[in-house]
Amino acid sequence: MPDDYSFTGDSLVVWEDNRRVYFLEETDFYLMYDFSLEKGDTMTYYDPVNRGYFSAGNNISPTGAPVELKLVIEDITEMQLESGSSKKFFKLSEEVMIGAHSEANCIRFFGFIEDVGSLGSSLTGGQCQFVADGCVGGLHCYSSSVGEYISSYDFLMPNPDCVTLPKSFAPLDAVWNYEGWSEFCEGNHMQFRVVDETVVDGRECSVIAGHGDSLIVNENAGKVYFLQDSLFYLLYDFTLDVGDTLSHYYPVNQGIFSSYLNAEDDSDPLLLKSLITEVGEVELSGVLRKTLVTEPLAHNDNLSTLGTIIEGIGSTSEALTGELCCIVADGCFGSLQCYSDTTLEYQGLASQVPHPECSYPDAVNELDVFMELAVFPNPVHDYLYLEGIERDFRVGIYDIGLRLLSEYRNEYVIRVHDLEEGPYVFMIESDGVFKYFKVIKK
C-alpha cells in the first residue's frame, strides 16, 4: 500500500433482504452477511475490491469482481448487547479454508453478530494473511437503534470513540447495609458484600453475597447487569437523563435479591419500568456521583421502587435490586442505611430501627420528622389536613397503580374534591425521610 494512501471519503452501499446483507459493486449486489444460516452451514460471501476501508489490504488496488470467500458456521449462540437486546452470535470454524479459497481466506472475522456484523478488523471482516507480528484488530464498539455493543477485549490502542465509563459499581469488598420493609417496623436489616470477582463470557464481573445468597453483576459503559440463567439483564443505567424511562429487570428465585413475592418463582426476570424525574449530584468522600430520582411506572401489573439511584452505588430504596411494591396501609418502608468501599462512603438517614453496622452522627430519623404528624380526615370528601410537621415537606398523591397524580409543597390543606372515589396513596417526604398513607376518597 502506498504510504500516502488515504481512506478518507470511502463509502459502501449496502442492502438487506430476507436476513441477508449485500453490498453494491459496479451494478451488481454481492453477499456480505447471511443472518439466516444454521450451525454447520457454509457461507459463501464476497470481499469488496478497490473500496478503501471496506477492502482487505491485499485487494485495495486491483480491478475486477469482488473476491469470493467461504466460511463454516461452527456454532450459533445468543449474545446480549449492552443495551439489553439479544442477538445471534455466529462463531466461525477455525478450519475455514475450503478448497480453492484457502489461500485467500485465512481466519477472516472470527465471528459476526446478527444485525451488527463482523468482530474482525473491519466491517467486511478484513480478509487476512498470516503474519508473524503486528495487531490483528477487531470491532471495538457499535451503536444504533438496534442496540449497543462494546468489546470486552483489552485492545492495545482502544478506539477513542469507544471509551467506556470507568468501572465504579461493586468493587471488591464493597458493602451495602439496607433496612427492608417490615410490617411492624422491626428493622429487617440486610447486608450485601462483594466477596469475589470473576469473568463470565469475557465480561469482568463481581460476586455480591447476602444472607447465604449471591448475585453476579457486570458494569459496562455506565450500565449494570445481573446474571441469571446464562443471560445478563439490565439492573441500573447511570447514563440516563430527566424524562428517560429506565427499563430494568428484577431477579426471580435469587433469594435475598428477589422479592418475597417471587423468591421461588421459576420464570424469567421481570421487566419493570421507572421514570427518571430528577438528575443531580452528591459529593461522597470528595467524589461527585450522579443521582437519579425514579418514579415507578406500572408495567405488566408489576411495580418496583428503586428510590433515588446513586451512580456506582445503586438503589437507596429497600434493597439492592429495589423492591417489588404493593400498597400497604402501615409498616416501615426501609432504605439504604449506609454504603462503603475502598474509596468512598455513603451515610443515609436513620430509620426507626437504625442498622447496627451504620453510624448516624447527624441523622434525622423517621420518628423525629413525623412524630407529631397527623393526617385527617380519612376517609375524606373535599379537603385533607396535615398537622404536626414544621420542616419543609412535599406531598405526592398516587393512584392504586402508583402513578403520580399531583404534588404539593408545604401545603397543610390539600383539596381532593376532584379525585374519583376509591383508595389513594399519599406520600409525605421531609429531609429525605418518607411516610406513606392509604387514604380513601368518598
Residue 73, pLDDT > 60, answer yes
Of the given ranges (13-17, 82-86, 120-124, 425-429), which has the lowest mean pLDDT? 82-86
Amino acid 312: pLDDT: 93
Spell out the long-range contacts of 433-438 with Cβ–Cβ below 8 A and sequence spacing 24 or more.
433/349, 433/364, 433/365, 433/366, 433/369, 433/370, 434/333, 434/335, 435/366, 435/369, 435/370, 435/373, 436/328, 436/333, 437/329, 437/375, 437/378, 438/327, 438/328, 438/329
Is there a cis peptide before residue 423, judged by omega within 30 degrees of 0? no
Spell out the long-range contacts of 16-21 with Cβ–Cβ below 8 A and sequence spacing 24 or more.
21/117
Q: What is the CATH number of domain 370-441?
A: 2.60.40.3080
- Tens of pLDDT, residues 367-378: 455 667 888 998
- Tens of pLDDT, residues 272-296: 888 898 898 888 888 889 999 888 8
Q: Percent of the chain scored above 70 by pLDDT?
A: 72
* Residues in a beta bridge with 112: 90, 118
- The C-alpha cell at 343 is 474509596
Q: What are phi and psi of 99, to 5 degrees?
A: 55, -130
Residue 109, pLDDT > 80, answer no
- Tens of pLDDT, residues 142-153: 888 777 777 766
Other beta carbons within 10 angstroms of residue 42's beta carbon come to 12
pLDDT bin (cut points 50, 70, 90) of residue 72 is confident
Mean pLDDT of the chain: 77
For the chain, the first-to-last Cα distance in angstroms comes to 83
Sheet holding 374-376: strands in order across?
374-376, 383-387, 413-415
Give the integer Cα–Cα distance in Å for 158 and 114.
23
- The C-alpha cell at 15 is 442492502
Residues 23-33: what's their mean pLDDT? 89
The domain segmentation of the chain, as residue ranges, is 14-162, 175-362, 370-441
Give the integer Cα–Cα distance in Å for 327 and 322.
15
Amino acid 84: pLDDT: 62
